[in-house]
Chain A
Amino acid sequence: MIDITTNLRSEIEDFLYREARLLDERKYEEWLKLFSDDGLYWIQRWASENSLVENPEDELNILYLDRRRLEVYVRRILTGMAYTYEPHARTARILSNVMIRIANNHEFRVTCKFLLYLFRAQPHELYGPRMQETLAGDLEYVLKKIQGELKIKLKKVTPINETVIGGQIYVV
C-alpha cells in the first residue's frame, strides 16, 4: 500500500466534488468526459434485504452500462424529449466519508457516501408524492491516471433505497 499523500487526497476529493457538481448543473457531456474509454457505470441491485447482486455481467442490475452505452443514455437526456428529465429535477449531491483504499501508481479505489436530494415540481403536483425524494448510499470508484488526468474506470452506485417511488433515479 502506497502512502496516500495529502496532495493526492485533495486531488481525488476535488475530482469527486467536481463530478457531483457537473451532474447537479446538468452538464452531462462534460460529465461523460470524466470516464475512461473502458469506463463502466453500474447501479447495483438489492437481491434481498441484506444482499446485493455482485456479479453484474450475469445478473440483472438497475443499470450496467459501458462507456459507449452510457454515452447513448446521456445523449437521450440531451434530446429534450426524455420526459423523465423534462422538466429536470433540481438536485443537490452531498459526498462524504471519502476513503482511498487501494492505490498503485496509476489506479485508485475510492469509496464514499452520497446523499442526493431531488426536488421536481410540476404545476399539477407541486404538493404531489414526487415533490421531494432523498437517495442515499455508497459510491465506489476505480479512478485511474491517464496522461496525468484522473478518469473514472468504474463508478458503482449502491443506493440504500431499494424501492424508488416514482420509478426514477437521478443518480446519473
Chain B
Amino acid sequence: MIGLEDLIRDDGNNFYVNPAVYTREDVFDLEMDRIFHRLWVYVGHESELSEPNDFKVARVGKYQVLITMGEDRRVRGFVNRCTHRGNVLCRVGRGRSKFFRCIYHGWTFNNQGEVVGIPDREGFPQDYDVSRLNLEEVKVGVYKGFIFASVDPINGLEEHLGEAKTFIDYIVDTSPGGIEVRGPVRYAYPGNWKLVMENTIDTYHFPVLHASVAMLANYINNRSPATTVAAAKNSSAYNAAGYLRGGHFFFTLDKKDMRTQLPMVISEGELVRALGKAKGEFRWRCTMHVSILPNLILLDYDESAPTVRLVTPIRPDLTDMQTYVFLPKDLPLERKRIILRAYEEFSGPVGMGSADDNEVMSCINASGASPGPWMNLTKGRHREVGRLGELEEGGIRFEGVSNVLDDTFVRGFYRWWAHYVSGGVK
C-alpha cells in the first residue's frame, strides 16, 4: 500500500513532492489503475480517421487498444487482442480495413468488434452464442474532433474535460473550416509521463534552459522565443498559470510584446466574429497552453507552434510521444508550410527547444531514482488566487492561479493527483 505522506508533504507554507513520484514502479502501477484506466485518455484526432474503415492502435494505460471508424462513421474502441488465444489482433499502427484477421488461427472480426469468421466453426456447438467471442469494447467519446477512450470511466467525457473544454474550443472554434492534424512525429524520452505534462506549462524555465534559443531569436522562423521570455517577465495580469477542477493545468501569456503566428491564421476581426467580442479579444491578446489529464497537451499558435501532444506512459522512466501539428484545413499551403517548419525547428524531437526539455526531464528521472531532498513547489503560493478578472473575461474558470512564472499549477495538479491515486471520487 502506498502512503501519500511518503510522496507529498504540505505544512501549510511549503509544498513538497518526492521525486519518487516519477520513478517508483508501485506509484506507476497505481497511476495506471486509478488515472489511466478511470479517466478519459486521448487516443487521436478525427482527421486521422478521415474515412470509414480507417483505424489506428493506441494505448489506454496498460491496455493496447484498437480505434476504428465503422462504415456508419462511428468511432469505436476495442482491446486489441484476439479473444481466442490472446494474440495481438491488429499488428500495424494505422491503416484502413473492414476486418481484422488474427494471424494465429484466423479468427476474424469486423471493425465493429463482431467475430465474423472462425475456421472450423463446428468445433463449437451449433447453438453456441458466438457473440461472447466478440472483441472487448472500450468506451470512446469524441469532443470537437478529439477522440478519447476509457476502460472504466468515473464520469462522462464532457464532465471529465470540464473547464478544459474552453481550451479545446479556443483551438477548434477559431477555425470555422475545421482543423486537421499532421504527423505524428514519434519519439520517446527516458522520463516519467508527468514531466512533459508539467514542463509544457512551465514558463519559468524558458529564459534559463532555452537561453541558447533566445540568443538566436532574430534568426528563428516567424516568431521569437526571446519575445516569449520578455512577455513572461512582463507584469501583465494576463500572464497566468493555474489549474482547473479535475486537475488539468494551463498558462496564458500576454502577446502584447510578442511576435506571433496567429495573424497568419486569422485576423482580429474574424476572431471576434468567430468567438464573440470578449473571447475573441481575449484570444487575440493571449496565447495559451493546456495539459489535459491524463495525456493530452495542446499548444496554440504563438509561443511555439500549434501542437497536439499525445503522451503515452510506457514505464515510470519511459514515455512515448506522438506529436502533431494542427492546422486550419483551409489555411493557404504556404502558411501551412511556415508553421510546419516552425514546429520542426523548435518543438520536434531534435528541435532546438524540445531536445533540451528532454534532457532535463530524463535527468530529473535519473536523479529521482536515488535518495535526496524532495522538490519544493512553493513558489507563488503567497500570490495564488481563486479569482482573476482578466481570465474570467476569456471564459476560463479555474480553481487556482498565479503568475505564469509560478509553480501554482503544479501544486494544483498534485492535489488532484493525490485525490485520484488515493481512489477518491470528488
Q: Do A and B bind each other?
A: yes
B95 within 8 A of A: yes
B235–chain A nearest beta-carbon distance, Å: 27
Task: Name the one of B221, B336, B358, B360 contacting A168, with C-beta atoms under 8 angstroms.
Answer: B358
A170→B212 CA distance, assembly (Å): 18
Residue pair A83, B360 in contact (C-beta under 8 Å): yes
**Per-residue contact bits, chain A 119-157, to B (CB 8 Å; 1 contact, 0 not):** 000101100111000000000000000000000000000
A84 to B215, CA, bound (A): 16
Is B355 a contact partner of A84 (Cβ separation < 8 A)?
A: yes
How many interface residues does A have (CB within 8 Å)? 42
User: Chain A's nearest CB lies how many Å from the CB of B334?
Assistant: 10
Contact A124 B366 (CB under 8 A): yes
Q: Which residues in A have their C-beta under 8 angstroms from that of B358?
A: 84, 166-168
Closest chain A residue to B333, Cβ basis: A58
Q: Among the interface residues A45, A69, A76, which one has the most CB atoms of the partner chain B within 10 A?
A: A76
Docked CA distance A59–B27 (Å): 39
B320: chain A residues at CB < 8 Å are 163
Contact-size category for B:
35 or more
Give the nearest-CB partner of B211 in chain A.
A81
Chain B hits for A83, CB < 8 A: 209, 356, 359-360
Q: With A79-B212, A82-B212 as given contacts, are A128 and B366 in contact (CB-CB < 8 Å)? A: yes
B99-127 interface with A by 8 A CB criterion = none
Tell me the smallest distance from the CB of B270 to a CB of chain A, in Å.
24
Contact: A129 with B344, CB < 8 Å?
no
Q: Report yes or no: A65 in contact with B345, Cβ–Cβ below 8 A.
A: yes
- Say whether B189 faces chain A, with CB atoms less than 8 Å apart: yes
Flag if B188 contacts A49 (CB, 8 Å): no
A11 within 8 A of B: no
Q: Residue B213 at the A interface, CB < 8 A?
A: yes
Instruction: Indicate if B367 sits at the interface (CB-CB under 8 A).
Output: yes
Does any Cβ of B come within 8 Å of A73's Cβ?
yes
Query: CB within 8 Å of A: which residues of B?
Result: 92-95, 182-190, 209, 211-213, 215-216, 219-221, 317-318, 320-321, 324-325, 333, 336-337, 340-341, 343-345, 348-352, 354-356, 358-360, 362-363, 366-367, 370
Q: Which A residues are closer than 8 A to B by beta carbons?
A: 43, 45-46, 48-49, 57-65, 68-69, 71-73, 75-76, 79, 81-84, 122, 124-125, 128-130, 162-169, 171-172
Enumerate 7 A-B pairs (CB-CB under 8 Å) in ascending A order: A58-B337, A60-B184, A61-B344, A69-B345, A75-B216, A130-B190, A163-B188
